[in-house]
């Protein structure tokens, strides 16, 4: 039996120990005091790049904290790792792959080589192919099998082949092209496909089957069902060519499925699934908002890449965000991290970031395979403000856990309706202020007194009216949610994840943890279908299987 070694390199380092000691000094301090003692705190702890202003002054930090964190990043060799990622080194070591989503949006066209070959010509070629296809769809030149124009496009994919394009299509709702609707089907639960296709006409519907591997059970099951739905109506296998295209790295499997590889958009193994919206996986985005907007999205991400690659750590937005996350996860004991967009268009950003972050840094061993003795990726969650305020913010204000949170809000809205944007912004800023300041016992008591309450009532109510505050937040003010800004924002978070992976010494680009469930599902499926007897399982799983089978057999 192989025993895993434990890694003490990080936690035993002088940088780490200094930060542990420093948290002991910071912990008793309230952010109110930090603000009171330094009127320049905002100027000193805010920065802007790519149309995004980051205010990180409402954090439980001093300038010394940041210095210590930058020291930790340097000790981890961060600047060197940034260079290694951008230059196409195979830093995804367990899969032997480069990590080059940045090449997909490399608008400078600077050569980027993988194994000695410049990938940019291929990247640009696929962009052109996407542009031609989108033009044909929008102009009506691409026709369904019966000669009708395509009005609906359904993306069938899951994980990175769904969440990125879905989130971006929602986020760029303002830029949506009329006359063509884009839908997404991901869940293997047939309800997803059935409810989506209910409103559609097979003669005017085109499916994009999006799967990096083209082996994913959920996607292939839905794609086969969509194929049957199409053929039930069109009654001719030749119809498939007009109603199915594929996005994949696996041409053989695409051909086996029955999609003409001329109708296939390729990408490459150096694009991770959760980092793939910039590749042909972004095809539904280009269909929904047009190729021009897609190019702007890429350009915005590229601008953030340039910033990340070139800015000093002290002025580097993804680095600052990442280090603050490390501070709370590793030294202050925060187990979760909330993303709170004050923009309805960004309501799916938390879902997207869940995969991006948790699949990347939800790891328990280092790059060398040693078990870590520190916390890695936190639980990422969130929802659009102000809905969240009326749901879970109570726990942030008065619960027992510290929940570091990012508030994201645009300065200009696409929908300036009366004073609604001012109200949205007021709520956003009020929440960050409340989370920082809280309400002291004295403040709560004087409010209750002013309301004319009797002292025995005040005594009973007072503990419920106190807000401890001191909950850390970042505020990201985005000038306007254009395709370019959205690209910068997503790239900002991608690089935040990368930096944390470097500090934690993880391979952020594999995802072996999703395999076990897939393997076991393949064992259980034939048992559920009565093709094999129930095999060796724990008594819970076996009991559930038997109960299900007896009900399906009409015995319960
Ligand atoms: O959930 C595991 C995963 O491999 C993700 O990383 C990926 O985005 C998703 O499945 C879909 O994979 P594919 O694009 O190969 O169908």
Q: Assess whether 518 carries a catalytic annotation.
A: yes
How far is ligand 1, taken at its centre, from the CA of residue 533, in Å?
30
pLDDT tier at 413, thresholds 50, 70, 90: very high
- Asked whether 161 and 212 are in contact (CB, 8 A), the reply is yes
What's the mean per-residue pLDDT of the chain?
97
- Asked whether 507 and 367 are in contact (CB, 8 A), the reply is yes
pLDDT value of residue 385:
86
pLDDT value of residue 316:
98
CA 448 to CA 464: how far, in whole Å?
12
The helix, strand and coil proportions of the chain, stated in percent and rounded to the nearest 5, come to 55, 15, 35
Question: Which atom of ligand 1 is nearest to 273's Cα?
Answer: 8
How far is ligand 1, taken at its centre, from the CA of residue 161, in Å?
7
Q: Do the bridges between strand 371-372 and strand 264-266 make them parallel or antiparallel, or are there none, so unpaired?
A: unpaired
Question: Which atom of ligand 1 is nearest to 219's Cα?
Answer: 16
pLDDT value of residue 381:
98
pLDDT value of residue 6:
63
Measured CA distances, 520 to 96, 363, 541, 543, 547 (Å) = 26, 21, 11, 16, 19
Q: Do the bridges between strand 244-248 and strand 371-372 make them parallel or antiparallel, or are there none, so unpaired?
A: unpaired
pLDDT tier at 3, thresholds 50, 70, 90: low
How far is ligand 1, taken at its centre, from the CA of residue 212, in Å?
7
pLDDT value of residue 7:
64
Q: Which of 8, 423, 449, 518 is an active site residue?
A: 518
How far is ligand 1, taken at its centre, from the CA of residue 273, in Å?
6
- pLDDT tens-digit series, residues 431-482: 999 999 999 999 999 999 999 999 999 999 999 999 999 999 999 999 999 9
pLDDT value of residue 167:
98
Question: Which atom of ligand 1 is nearest to 274's Cα?
Answer: 8
Count the Cβ atoms, other than its own, within 10 Å of residue 430.
11
Q: What is the mean pLDDT of residues 137-141?
A: 98
- Asked whether 61 and 324 are in contact (CB, 8 A), the reply is yes
- Which pair of structure tokens corresponds to residue 250? 């696996």
Does 556 have pLDDT greater than 70?
A: no
Does 368 have pLDDT greater than 90?
A: yes
pLDDT value of residue 555:
75
- Asked whether 51 and 66 are in contact (CB, 8 A), the reply is no
Does 529 have pLDDT greater than 90?
A: yes
For ligand 1, atom 16, the nearest C-alpha belongs to: 211
List of long-range contacts for 345-348, beta carbons under 8 Å, 24+ apart: 345/170, 345/171, 345/172, 345/173, 345/174, 345/414, 345/481, 346/170, 346/171, 346/384, 346/408, 346/481, 347/170, 347/383, 347/384, 348/163, 348/166, 348/167, 348/170, 348/171
How far is ligand 1, taken at its centre, from the CA of residue 158, in Å?
6
CA 228 to CA 240: how far, in whole Å?
10
The DSSP output letter for 27 is: T
- Asked whether 364 and 371 are in contact (CB, 8 A), the reply is yes
For ligand 1, atom 2, the nearest C-alpha belongs to: 514
For ligand 1, atom 6, the nearest C-alpha belongs to: 273
Measured CA distances, 528 to 193, 498, 538, 547 (Å) = 22, 41, 16, 11
For ligand 1, atom 9, the nearest C-alpha belongs to: 159
pLDDT value of residue 272:
98
Q: What is the mean pLDDT of residues 324-337?
A: 98
Nearest to 33, CA basis, from 1, 71, 60: 60
Q: Assess whether 390 carries a catalytic annotation.
A: yes
Q: Assess whether 256 carries a catalytic annotation.
A: no
- Asked whether 323 and 69 are in contact (CB, 8 A), the reply is yes
How far is ligand 1, taken at its centre, from the CA of residue 211, in Å?
7
Question: Which atom of ligand 1 is nearest to 161's Cα?
Answer: 14
For ligand 1, atom 10, the nearest C-alpha belongs to: 159
- Which pair of structure tokens corresponds to residue 33? 């005091």
Query: Which DSSP string do the residues of 130-184 spell out, in sequence order?
Result: HHHHHHHHHHT-SB-TTSPBP-EEEEE--GGGTHHHHHHHHHTGGGPPTT-EEEE
CA 480 to CA 385: how far, in whole Å?
17
How far is ligand 1, taken at its centre, from the CA of residue 506, in Å?
19
- pLDDT tens-digit series, residues 269-319: 999 999 999 999 999 999 999 999 999 999 999 999 999 999 999 999 999
Residue of 95, 212, 274, 355 to test ligand 1 pocket, by largest number of atoms within 8 Å of CB: 212
pLDDT tier at 363, thresholds 50, 70, 90: very high
Does 532 have pLDDT greater than 80?
A: yes
- Asked whether 143 and 260 are in contact (CB, 8 A), the reply is no
What residues are paired with 365 via a beta bridge?
A: 371
Q: Which residues contact 188 (CB under 8 A, 6 or more apart)?
A: 217, 218, 221, 222
**How far from chain centre, in Å, is Cα 510?**
15
How far is ligand 1, taken at its centre, from the CA of residue 112, in Å?
25
- Asked whether 480 and 412 are in contact (CB, 8 A), the reply is yes
Q: Which residues contact 401 (CB under 8 A, 6 or more apart)?
A: 334, 335, 336, 395
Does 9 have pLDDT greater than 90?
A: no
Residue of 99, 155, 161 to test ligand 1 pocket, by largest number of atoms within 8 Å of CB: 161
Q: Which of 390, 464, 536, 555 is an active site residue?
A: 390
Q: Which of 359, 445, 494, 527 is an active site residue?
A: 359
Nearest to 537, CA basis, from 552, 523, 516: 523
For ligand 1, atom 3, the nearest C-alpha belongs to: 159
Question: Which atom of ligand 1 is nearest to 276's Cα?
Answer: 8
Count the Cβ atoms, other than its own, within 10 Å of residue 179.
10
Question: Which atom of ligand 1 is nearest to 216's Cα?
Answer: 16
Give yes or no for a cis peptide into 55 (omega within 30° of 0).
no
Count the Cβ atoms, other than its own, within 10 Å of residue 85.
22
Residue of 185, 215, 251, 273 to test ligand 1 pocket, by largest number of atoms within 8 Å of CB: 273
- pLDDT tens-digit series, residues 45-87: 999 999 999 999 999 999 999 999 999 999 999 999 999 999 9
Pocket of ligand 1 (CB under 6 A): 158-161, 211-213, 216, 219, 273-274, 359, 511, 514
CA 430 to CA 380: how far, in whole Å?
23
How far is ligand 1, taken at its centre, from the CA of residue 430, in Å?
39
Percent of the chain with pLDDT over 70: 98
């Amino acid at each position: 039996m192989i025993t895993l070694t434990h890694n003490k390199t990080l936690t035993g380092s002088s940088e780490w120990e200094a930060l542990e000691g420093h948290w002991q000094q910071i912990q008793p301090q309230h952010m109110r005091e930090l603000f009171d003692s330094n009127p320049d705190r905002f100027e000193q702890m805010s920065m802007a790049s790519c149309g995004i202003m980051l205010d990180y002054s409402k954090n439980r930090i001093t300038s010394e904290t940041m210095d210590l964190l930058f020291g930790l990043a340097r000790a981890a060799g961060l600047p060197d790792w940034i260079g290694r990622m951008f230059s196409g080194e195979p830093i995804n070591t367990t899969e032997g792959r480069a990590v080059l989503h940045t090449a997909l949006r490399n608008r400078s066209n600077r050569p980027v080589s993988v194994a000695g070959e410049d990938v940019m010509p291929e990247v640009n070629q696929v962009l052109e192919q996407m542009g031609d296809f989108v033009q044909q769809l929008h102009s009506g030149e691409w026709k369904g099998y019966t000669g009708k124009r395509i009005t609906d496009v359904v993306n069938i994919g899951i994980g990175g082949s769904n969440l990125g394009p879905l989130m971006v299509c929602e986020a760029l709702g303002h830029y949506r092209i009329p006359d063509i609707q884009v839908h997404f089907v991901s869940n293997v639960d047939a309800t997803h496909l059935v409810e989506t296709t209910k409103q559609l006409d097979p003669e005017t519907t085109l499916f994009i089957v999006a799967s990096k591997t083209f082996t994913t059970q959920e996607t292939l099951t839905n794609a086969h069902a969509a194929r049957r739905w199409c053929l039930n109506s069109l009654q001719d296998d030749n119809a498939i060519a007009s109603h199915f295209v594929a996005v994949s790295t696996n041409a053989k499997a695409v051909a086996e499925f029955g999609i003409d590889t001329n109708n296939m958009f390729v990408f490459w193994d150096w694009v991770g699934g959760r980092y793939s919206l910039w590749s042909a996986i972004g095809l539904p985005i280009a269909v929904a908002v047009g190729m021009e907007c897609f190019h702007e999205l890429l350009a915005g991400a590229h601008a953030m890449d340039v910033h990340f690659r070139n800015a000093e750590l002290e002025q580097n937005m993804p680095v600052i965000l990442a280090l603050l996350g490390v501070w709370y996860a590793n030294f202050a004991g925060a187990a979760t991290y909330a993303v709170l967009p004050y923009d309805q268009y960004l309501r799916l950003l938390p879902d997207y970031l869940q995969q991006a972050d948790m699949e990347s840094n939800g790891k328990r061993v280092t790059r060398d395979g040693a078990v870590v003795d520190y916390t890695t990726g936190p639980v990422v969650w969130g929802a659009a403000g102000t809905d969240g305020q009326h749901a879970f913010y109570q726990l942030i204000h008065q619960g027992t856990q510290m929940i570091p949170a990012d508030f994201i809000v645009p300065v200009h809205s696409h929908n300036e309706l009366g004073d609604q944007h001012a109200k949205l912004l007021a709520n956003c800023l009020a929440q960050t202020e409340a989370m920082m300041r809280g309400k002291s016992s004295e403040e709560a008591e004087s409010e209750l007194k002013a309301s004319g309450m009797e002292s025995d009532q005040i005594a009973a109510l007072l503990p419920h009216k106190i807000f401890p505050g001191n909950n850390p937040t970042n505020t990201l003010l985005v000038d306007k949610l254009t395709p370019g800004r959205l690209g910068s924002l997503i790239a900002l978070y991608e690089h935040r994840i990368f930096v944390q992976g470097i500090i934690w010494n993880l391979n952020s680009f594999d995802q072996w943890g999703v395999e076990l469930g897939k393997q076991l599902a393949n064992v259980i499926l034939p048992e559920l279908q009565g093709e094999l007897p129930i095999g060796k399982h724990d008594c819970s799983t076996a009991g559930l299987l038997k109960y299900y089978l007896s009900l399906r057999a009409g015995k319960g």
